[in-house]
Structure 1
Amino acid sequence: MKVVVLGGGPGGYVCAIRAAQLGAEVTLVEQQHLGGTCLNSGCIPTKVLLHTTEIYDMLRKQSADLGLKMNDLALEWSAVQYRKDMIVSQLVDGVKTILETNQINVIMGKGRFITNNELEVITKGKQRIIVGFDKAVIATGSETIRVPIPGADLEGVLTSTEALSLENVPESICIIGGGVIGCEFASIYSSAGSKVTIVEMLPNLIANMDEEIVECLKNQFFESGIDIYTNGKVEKIERHENKLKVTVSTSSGTKNIVAEKVLISTGRKPNISQIGLENLGVEADKGSILVDKSMKTNVDNIYAIGDCTGGVLLAHVASAEGIIAAENMMGKYTPIDFKTISYCVYTKPEIASVGLNEKQALKQGYNIKVGKFPLYANGKSVIKGEVNGLVKFVIDEDTDEIIGLHIAGPNATELIAVGAMAIRLEATLDEIISTIYAHPTVSESIHEAAHAVHGNVIHMPRL
């Protein structure tokens, strides 16, 4: 079977690999960079900057407490940028090698469907290639939302891509948008020494996550000197001497924020224009391609995965959907289960969630119980000097089944896999409690939070 995959991001290249493993003859078409936004200008480079700046900030503030004497500690930003670029290059080369060893034909160029069995590709060298296929997967990802703010086109107003590659750490930066991307950049630049201000239109930062977990992050931001304006609407951006002035309407009146740089970080939208959907007859709704649980569109031989379907815009979701699409088109008929999607924010503290939070569970009609354990009572967190955190279970009271786990603290993005596995296996609270956790570890706090559901927390004074 001949399969073509349009888009080489974390959904597209994973789908191509899995289809090849199952015996398909695969062609992958990518317009810009293998690895897509995530690898080249999203997940990976931001985490490189977060890693270095977090270490720098920790040594700058806590070295004496740790028993370390630091002389002339400095952040060499150009070296950080070089390391970021080298890591991205290394991982992109790794993707190329994996594709080659799976005998996948890669064409770098812009693809457009001309029939439901042919894809036209205009290569970077302006060569026109027609790729025939039996089945196709659309994995064209998403693009930055351009918000109509007066002054958004001024010099010094950045997209997230541009914010990754600044030549110098700005003295000050105003971040418009307090979602995942905005908060991660706030962590990067605050840790690097910038004065950071966040403006968020909604009542809270990272609005889709548990409020108590996000509160741990907000507290850390306040301690770090980050100013936060929620329920704030940006009216305009103007030049102010050699800086920029952001005018914001808030419930307490108009605020003027002056900063060297302004980052507009207000989300992304599916990228499905100019790929020939009209020639396929593929149905879309509100700019997103419609698919079923097998990732198939309304056209029998056309599948779509990742951000272009308008679901959860996360790299690991796109990869999972890519595997599902490949297996279904090759006859394995595998459904996808979205209940185990983990949401991760790589700030300090890290925050992560899987399953339902309290509000979502109550809205869906569950009777719930909640168990919480603060990390100031966890030995490993105290050792690490990262006690601004919390572990929180949401439990179905009628069955004791775990329906949500939410974590703020060190390694939260790693530990959340415990919750994902528990939800996937429909585990009950007793199965968490009866598991033995190593000591001293941050993961012990998961055990304690489970005990807390029924009021039996071990390492906290009884009230």
Structure 2
Amino acid sequence: MAEDQFDVLVIGGGPGGYVAAIRAAQLGLKTACIESRGKLGGTCLNVGCIPSKALLQSSESYHHALHKAEALGLTYEKVGFDLKKIHEHKTKVVGQLTDGVEYLFKKNKVTYLKGFGSFVEPGKVKVKSDSDEKVYSAKNVIIATGSAPVELPSAPFDGKTVVDSTGALDFDKVPKHLVVIGGGVIGLELGSVWARLGAKVSVVEAADTILPMMDKDVIRAMKKSLGKEGLEFYEKTKFVELKKKGRSTVVVCDKAGEAVELSCDKVLVAVGRRAYSEGLGLDAVGIETERGKIPVNDRFQTKVDGVWAIGDVIDGPMLAHKAEEEGVACAEFIANKHGHVNYFAIPNVVYTWPEVASVGMTEQECKEKGLEVKIGKVPFSANGRAKCLGETDGFVKIIADKRTDRMVGAHIVGPNASELIGELAIGAEYSASAEDIGRSVHAHPTLSETIKEAALAVDKMSLNA
């Protein structure tokens, strides 16, 4: 096979794309991955999941020292932070991980093509960089171009005052008043970062509540916890426009016909993300998008032979781990193996503090489907390890089918919820019953015992709560 011909060519080096490329190479397919950013890892590693979690960790550590350490018997002569060093830590982590992906490409013999990829015709993709342009041939092309922040016409990004999630990662000083338009995951996470570091944070949400897709008990708990951090919420409040007033920006909103005006120095627009499918030359291969997304079948095939798509650019939740699993499965389908993604078992996480994590259905969704359920709910205040940590806010809630006892949903608000949800995701994958989880031995004392207790509580058999 010629050097510029491949079995698999992946457009996009984010979590879905780079994982698809590595898996394809592991399966013996000659593989290349195209990335225009200049660094592998996509939005997630460069300007999304990873840098935001670095900021969240730094700000949470500072907040803990200020507000929680004394209860554990710890005192400090002076508590402060250096924003420049916080950003340096974030940048260092990002660099280590993006360099790590490049190493994995070398290890697995994946060819890394730097530039912007677009179709010339079926089976041929042009890669354009600053210095040259070249066409590569491939039997299979996987589109894994991810997504981009949604921009509001009445609040265009200027990179200074009005920013997207990327801009909110790089403020050179703590805002006096940050207005977040959008009460979803991204808005709450980044709002939490700056609130902990001293900013006044106001969250504007057009829906009835923040986190509208979450379980009602989760929403109630998170409003209370985030309120303690200083976040204020304007729910059922529609953003209208921005106005300038001296050096300040005024966010004009409408709440039930009444004007609400919030004067601030920074605005974060976090109203969602859109599939990134522009400029790919899809018309050259006869692919039409639906609301920007690329239609695929249950094997990630588009209507064009040899063209596949995964991740944020297709339907489904825009999650890095969802894209990764689709990348693995897609590569396996191309290699004539049996790919598998169980969407029911994909967890969702909000990395505020306390954290939120869930898998499966909410209680409301069960009711809408007419499913009779039984529910076990146990607070972290009943858990020994949580008391030792001084982190007793939140709960574990397990929802089981009343007829079969199969777990159909699980929701955690509390310390390290992002780590704890893994056990329940495995339970969802293997159709575990509440009894299965409740009878599993959990080490003592651990936060995970709350999962066991919640599973036992489904049948009112909890032992320690």
Q: What band does the TM-score fall into relative to the shorter chain?
A: over 0.9
Partner of 1:448: 453
Q: What is the Cα deviation at residue 456 of structure 1?
A: 2.2
Deviations 1:34-66 (A, max 9, x none): 100000000000000000100100110122212
Task: State the secondary structure of the residue aligned to 1:11.
Answer: helix
Letter in 1 for 2:324: S
- The CA distance in 2 between the partners of 1:263 and 1:239, in whole Å, is 16
Partner of 2:247: 242
Deviations 1:163-204 (A, max 9, x none): 101111112211110100000011101111111110111111
Partner of 1:203: 208
- The CA distance in 1 between the partners of 2:147 and 2:62, in whole Å, is 33
- The CA distance in 2 between the partners of 1:310 and 1:239, in whole Å, is 38
Structure 1, gaps ≥5 residues long: none
Q: What is the Cα deviation at residue 251 of structure 1?
A: 3.2
Partner of 2:427: 422
Moved more, 406-415 or 237-246: 237-246
- The CA distance in 1 between the partners of 2:293 and 2:393, in whole Å, is 39
Aligned 8 A contact 1:293 1:336 in 2: no
Aligned 8 A contact 2:165 2:268 in 1: yes
- The CA distance in 2 between the partners of 1:224 and 1:299, in whole Å, is 51
- The CA distance in 2 between the partners of 1:51 and 1:305, in whole Å, is 30
Partner of 2:134: 129
Task: State the secondary structure of the residue aligned to 2:115.
Answer: strand
Partner of 1:367: 372
Aligned 8 A contact 2:443 2:449 in 1: yes
Moved more, 376-385 or 407-416: 376-385
Aligned partner (choices 26, 29, 35) of residue 34 of structure 2: 29
Task: State the secondary structure of the residue aligned to 2:76.
Answer: coil
Partner of 2:45: 39
Letter in 2 for 1:94: G
Q: What is the Cα deviation at residue 205 of structure 1?
A: 1.1
- The CA distance in 1 between the partners of 2:394 and 2:432, in whole Å, is 24
Aligned partner (choices 87, 90, 102) of residue 93 of structure 2: 87
Task: State the secondary structure of the residue aligned to 1:196.
Answer: strand
Aligned 8 A contact 2:71 2:390 in 1: no
**TM-score under structure 1 normalisation?**
0.97
- The CA distance in 1 between the partners of 2:447 and 2:345, in whole Å, is 21
Q: What is the Cα deviation at residue 252 of structure 1?
A: 7.8
Percent identity, aligned pairs only? 36
Task: State the secondary structure of the residue aligned to 1:300.
Answer: coil
Q: Does the C-alpha gap of structure 1 residues 448 and 392 become closer, same or farther in structure 2, counting only changes over 3 Å?
A: same
Q: After TM superposition, which residue ranges in structure 1, 4 or more long, deviate above 4 angstroms? A: 150-155
Partner of 1:7: 12
- The CA distance in 2 between the partners of 1:342 and 1:36, in whole Å, is 21
2:225 equivalent to 1:220? yes
Aligned 8 A contact 1:200 1:229 in 2: yes
Q: What is the Cα deviation at residue 269 of structure 1?
A: 0.5
Letter in 2 for 1:284: T
2:78 equivalent to 1:53? no
**TM-score under structure 2 normalisation?**
0.96
Structure 2, gaps ≥5 residues long: 1-5
Deviations 1:247-304 (A, max 9, x none): 1211383222112211111110101111011111224322111111211111121110
Aligned partner (choices 108, 113, 118) of residue 107 of structure 1: 113
Q: Does the C-alpha gap of structure 1 residues 157 and 202 become closer, same or farther in structure 2, counting only changes over 3 Å?
A: same
- The CA distance in 1 between the partners of 2:301 and 2:341, in whole Å, is 12
Task: State the secondary structure of the residue aligned to 2:378.
Answer: strand
Moved more, 399-408 or 284-293: 284-293
2:201 equivalent to 1:190? no
Aligned 8 A contact 2:155 2:162 in 1: no
Aligned 8 A contact 2:159 2:167 in 1: no
Q: Does the C-alpha gap of structure 1 residues 252 and 300 become closer, same or farther in structure 2, counting only changes over 3 Å?
A: same
Letter in 1 for 2:110: I
Letter in 2 for 1:91: L
Letter in 1 for 2:349: C
Aligned partner (choices 296, 301, 304) of residue 299 of structure 1: 304
Q: What is the Cα deviation at residue 422 of structure 1?
A: 0.6
Aligned 8 A contact 1:151 1:237 in 2: no
Q: What is the Cα deviation at residue 246 of structure 1?
A: 1.0
Q: Does the C-alpha gap of structure 1 residues 251 and 380 become closer, same or farther in structure 2, counting only changes over 3 Å?
A: farther
Partner of 1:68: 74
Aligned 8 A contact 1:151 1:238 in 2: no
- The CA distance in 1 between the partners of 2:273 and 2:155, in whole Å, is 19
Task: State the secondary structure of the residue aligned to 1:133.
Answer: strand
Aligned 8 A contact 2:241 2:252 in 1: yes
Q: Does the C-alpha gap of structure 1 residues 163 and 154 become closer, same or farther in structure 2, counting only changes over 3 Å?
A: closer
- The CA distance in 2 between the partners of 1:307 and 1:40, in whole Å, is 16
Aligned 8 A contact 1:395 1:402 in 2: yes
Moved more, 232-241 or 74-83: 232-241
Aligned 8 A contact 1:216 1:349 in 2: no
Partner of 2:183: 178
